[in-house]
Amino acid sequence: MSARRRTITLGAALCVVVACAEEPSTAIPLGGGEAQPDLDLGVPHLSSDQFATYETREFSELGAPARVLAEGEAEYPGQEEYRDEEDLAPSIWNARTSAMFVPGSFAVWGSHDYMANKGRVDVTATIRRDGTVIGTRLGTTEETYPFIPWWHTITGFVEIATDVDCGLAGDGSSDHAAWWEVAPGAGPSVYGASRMSTSSGIAYQRACEPGVIPTTNTGGGGSGGGGTDTSDYYCWLYITYDLYTLEVLDIQVLWCGEGG
């Protein structure tokens, strides 16, 4: 065989071998009794508290320092005249929770009017698919006013993003609170707290039609598109972190959509 023919034959053989070679197996063989190696993995430290929103609003800083009475109870100048009056019993009224689907999200509002200088509303939004809870998000809003008998209105808001417009249901609930705090942030000077809870009704997206794929797509972290009446739906968070320091770089809000 000539050198030229040998070269062509060798090249063709090499070519066939490379083209027909199987990709390597991805399974790691483990012989009997062989020790399992460690998995090199860094997972960022997170807690579910980090997925809830917490908003505080403070209005009109108190100008004069509180006067300490006893056992941590403080008194703000001018407070004496109100101290034993019934007006100071904190009260809540017009408490309500509203929930609705809007394009691109499920929104829940919790609000109440109150007579006190501290108000708080803890709002929970829950997404369901076929009656099963697939996602929940919490949000807290807290307000501080000067120690003056006056009424205020507080509103808290929680949102769950979604890119489907059929097949989901959702509801909301709120824990409403109001109380007097003589020197906010200065220790145990709290008295007379009122609390109550409210719930919204269940809000529904339209039913999905068999085989029809909705087209709502609001961008963001979702996939676009939507589901059919038999689609499996998911709620997830999307977190990015530094691979080396494990520092969390970003947490996207709870997103619910089709598995795809």
Partner 1 sequence: MMHASLLRAALVGCVALVSVLSPVSASAQANAANPIFLTIPESYPDLGARVIVMREPGREIVMLDPAAATVDELGAGLRMLAKFRRERPEPTNGEMIPIMGFAPAPNISADERARLEAALAELQRRPIANVGNLGRGRWMRLSMR
3 lines the binding site for partner 1 (CB under 8 A): yes
Between 44 and 187, CB nearer to partner 1: 44
Of 59-67, 128-136, 140-148, 194-202, the window that binds partner 1 (rule: CB under 8 A) is 128-136
DSSP 51: G
How many CB atoms are located within 10 Å of the residue 112 CB?
26
Q: Kindly state the smallest distance separating residue 129's Cβ from partner 1, in Å.
A: 4
Q: Which residue has the tokens 């707290």?
A: 193
Q: Kindly state the smallest distance separating residue 43's Cβ from partner 1, in Å.
A: 6
183 lines the binding site for partner 1 (CB under 8 A): no
Contacts to partner 1 from residues 205-234, by CB under 8 A: 223, 230, 232-234
How many Å apart are CA 238 and CA 175, to the nearest integer? 28
Q: At 166, which amino acid appears?
A: C
Distance of CA 91 to the CA centre of its chain: 29
Region for 250 from its dihedrals, namely left if φ exceeds 0, alpha if ψ lies in -120 to 50, beta otherwise:
beta
Of 28-36, 58-66, 179-187, 211-219, the window that binds partner 1 (rule: CB under 8 A) is 28-36
Burial class (CB in 10 A: 0-12, 13-18, 19+), 98: middle
70 lines the binding site for partner 1 (CB under 8 A): no
Distance of CA 59 to the CA centre of its chain: 26
**Integer CA distances (angstroms), 46 to 35, 135, 221, 240, 249, in order:** 31, 18, 20, 12, 12
Between 127 and 203, CB nearer to partner 1: 127
Q: Which residues touch 179 (CB under 8 Å, ≥6 apart)?
A: 90, 116, 118, 190, 191, 192, 193, 194
Query: Interface mask (CB under 8 A) for partner 1, residues 144-173, using x and -?
Result: ------------------------------
Contacts to partner 1 from residues 237-256, by CB under 8 A: 237-243, 246, 249, 254
Contacts to partner 1 from residues 46-65, by CB under 8 A: 46-48, 51
- Site residues (CB under 8 A) for partner 1? 3-4, 7-8, 10-12, 14-15, 18-19, 23, 25-28, 30, 35-44, 46-48, 51, 128-130, 132-136, 223, 230, 232-243, 246, 249, 254, 259-260
